[in-house]
Chain A
Amino acid sequence: MAKYILKRFIMMIATILIISTLTFVLMHSIPGSPFDEERTSNPTIQANLEKFYKLDEPMHVQYLYYLKSIVTFDFGPSIKKPNESVNELLARGFPISFELGMVTILVALLSGTILGTLAALRHNGIIDYLAMTFAVVGISVPNFVLATLLIQQVAVTWELLPAATWSSPLHMILPILALATGPTAIIARLTRSSMLEVLTQDYIKMANAKGLSPIRIVIRHALRNALMPVVTIMGTMLAGILTGTFVIEKIFAIPGMGKYFVESINNRDYPVIMGSTVFYSAFLVFMLFLVDIVYGFLDPRIKLHRKEGDA
């Protein structure tokens, strides 16, 4: 197990290094400087600005500075908002995005599992049919479409819930609903199909024969194994939810990290783009690493598979 964790850890560092380098190379391959718009300004000011952002140094020196900034977690000042550092933006925006993302995941996990289990238990019944219809529709409707439709219907036409911002739990319902529907649908489908498989296993028959109550069988015996596939897709699902927060925050005017990220894209604010890309990637890769480790503990067979795969 320790060897497996170590291997995954090295992979994680390699991935972060690659994405950081990729970000650096890409951002520096853009022709022109970020100060092109202010060309008219004094050349001395231009030189000073370039010096301030270390743009006058040779490329490899800039790269080293950049790596240092990642290791020390100090992404420097923003170009378009010079009195704010990327760190400040991250510190201000990320907690909100994190809250949005985490609540979304919890909602999706809980409702997806329940929906999938109910569908499997009533296989080919009316609940199954409804749940799977919801699942296909939920996967097909993009989150930003859902978000705008929700605003239009629930907030504007019916005036039931507030349409924007992140100031009270009531404000959170629509964004979370919009963001969680897709993942809920995926989890429900996955849970249903693996649950159907698990329910035919001998140990479920055994548990039935012992006279255990159906609820106990489902929760203690079946669900444990049925949820394994859900654990494996948690990583990609996290990535989806995280990028989903970009549009959701834009639509609902939530002052999270995604809003600053989208702003920085439109403003071509390179330090912010670089800082948040690296931060997001590192966060995601770390989450993937955690998921893999958890999976390794949950399913002892994983080590065997690894060995076969390496051969």
Chain B
Amino acid sequence: MTNTQNLVSPQAIKDEWFRPKQKEQGRAESVVRPSLSYWKDAWRRLRKNKLAMGGLVFLVLLMLFAIFGPIFSPYSVTATDYPSQNQAPSATHWFGTDEAGRDVFTRTWYGARISLFVGIMAALIDFFIGIIYGGVSGYKGGRTDTVMMRVVEVLYGLPHLLVVILLMVVMGASLTTIIVALTVTGWVGMARIVRGQVLQIKTYEFVTASKSFGAKTSRIIRKNLLPNTMGPIIVQMTLTVPSAIFAEAFLSFLGLGVAAPFASWGVMANDALPVILSGHWWRLFFPALFISLTMFAFNVLGDGLQDALDPKLRR
């Protein structure tokens, strides 16, 4: 058992070995870079995604034009000017004029107002209903959850656009009706996502910790669950907007849109349908271009946000 090889002879032991170590000058432990919050980190990732940033820039510009465009335009949206009807795009009428001589450029920005308003309102209302319904269902669990999800399952099985068409026929076409009809069927998707997230997150340790400190249910939902479900919720909202814009344009195209003289992009495209054979391409081209560009921008932004907000999913 004698193992003397590793032992140091008593003479070799030096006093300095037992002096307290000097504190180092540099602080190796200190954090050099500012700490990144979840949102800052996501923003950093999003900024690298050129396509998504392009979409974001386009949408900001579009909103600015939708708000201020009609103010700076010398033309009225509704007033007719028959002498200058059906003009091709020119220096005076950038996007041309329609059969009543109205300036298509001005009307396009009014259309942007309507389309964006419908899309954003639909997304916001979906958000509130979905968060409450999905949050309660996921958090309560058990029988409550089963019953609430049965309701959602049945609603999810309904053909949405058919229900929307039916509601529009019954309630009459107006902006409010479109938003109501879209949200009556639209909140279900959001509720499912919130519920799935809550179901997963409520089993995490920090929620248990919060509970053991005596936090109330409302506090846990507000402070622990909701902030951590925000990522997928924001993505879902970004993707709800283009589908609502599409639905509005679609309904307008079926003749269930906002009534004249105001026009959403869908109404403008629908009005242009009979005249494309006579070569008035600008009537269709500009609303079609802006519907497509807006949907494209929201879609790429949604994809980008998905990548940015959910780093675990990235490959």
Give the interface of A toward B (CB within 8 A).
11-12, 14-15, 18-19, 22-23, 26-27, 29-30, 136-137, 139-142, 144-145, 148-149, 151-152, 156, 196-197, 239, 242-243, 246-247, 250-251, 262, 265-266, 268, 273, 277, 280-281, 284-285, 288, 310
A14 to B165, CA, bound (A): 21
Q: Does B182 contact A (CB under 8 A)?
A: no
Main secondary structure of the interface of B (DSSP, over half): helix
A-B contact pairs, 25 of them (CB 8 A): A11-B153, A18-B158, A19-B159, A22-B163, A26-B170, A27-B170, A136-B300, A136-B303, A137-B292, A139-B295, A139-B299, A140-B292, A142-B291, A144-B250, A145-B291, A148-B284, A156-B276, A243-B162, A251-B273, A262-B254, A265-B165, A265-B169, A273-B169, A277-B166, A288-B157
Residues of A within 8 A of B300 (CB): 136
> What is the total number of residues of chain B having a CB less than 8 Å from a CB of chain A?
40
Q: Do B157 and A285 touch (CB < 8 A)?
A: yes
Known: A18-B154, A148-B284. A156 touches B277 (CB 8 A): yes
Known: A149-B284, A243-B159, A266-B255. A142 touches B170 (CB 8 A): no
Cβ-neighbour of B284 out of A139, A152, A246 (below 8 A): A152
Q: Which residue of A lies closest to B161 (CB)?
A: A243
Residues of B within 8 A of A284 (CB): 159, 162
Q: Do B256 and A265 touch (CB < 8 A)?
A: yes
Q: Which residue of A lies closest to B160 (CB)?
A: A239
Q: Does B296 contact A (CB under 8 A)?
A: yes
A142 to B300, CA, bound (A): 15
Cβ-neighbour of A136 out of B153, B276, B281, B296 (below 8 A): B296
Q: Do B166 and A273 touch (CB < 8 A)?
A: yes
Q: Do A141 and B292 touch (CB < 8 A)?
A: yes
Top 8 nearest A-B pairs (CB, nearest first) are: A140-B296, A243-B161, A140-B295, A145-B288, A15-B157, A141-B292, A26-B170, A284-B159
Known: A14-B154, A265-B169, A273-B166. A140 touches B288 (CB 8 A): no
A14 to B161, CA, bound (A): 19
A199 to B249, CA, bound (A): 40
Q: Does B146 contact A (CB under 8 A)?
A: yes
Q: How far apart are B101's CB and chain A's nearest CB, in angstroms?
A: 22
A19 to B170, CA, bound (A): 15
Q: How far apart are B149's CB and chain A's nearest CB, in angstroms?
A: 8
A196 to B315, CA, bound (A): 10
Known: A15-B158, A281-B162. A265 touches B284 (CB 8 A): no
Q: Do B254 and A247 touch (CB < 8 A)?
A: yes
Q: How far apart are B56's CB and chain A's nearest CB, in angstroms?
A: 15
Q: Does B269 contact A (CB under 8 A)?
A: yes
A14 to B167, CA, bound (A): 20
Known: A11-B153, A136-B296. A30 touches B170 (CB 8 A): yes
Q: Does B242 contact A (CB under 8 A)?
A: yes
Q: How far apart are A79's CB and chain B's nearest CB, in angstroms?
A: 14
Q: Do A142 and B273 touch (CB < 8 A)?
A: no
Residues of A within 8 A of B249 (CB): 142, 144-145
A29 to B166, CA, bound (A): 12
Q: Do A142 and B295 touch (CB < 8 A)?
A: yes
A141 to B289, CA, bound (A): 9
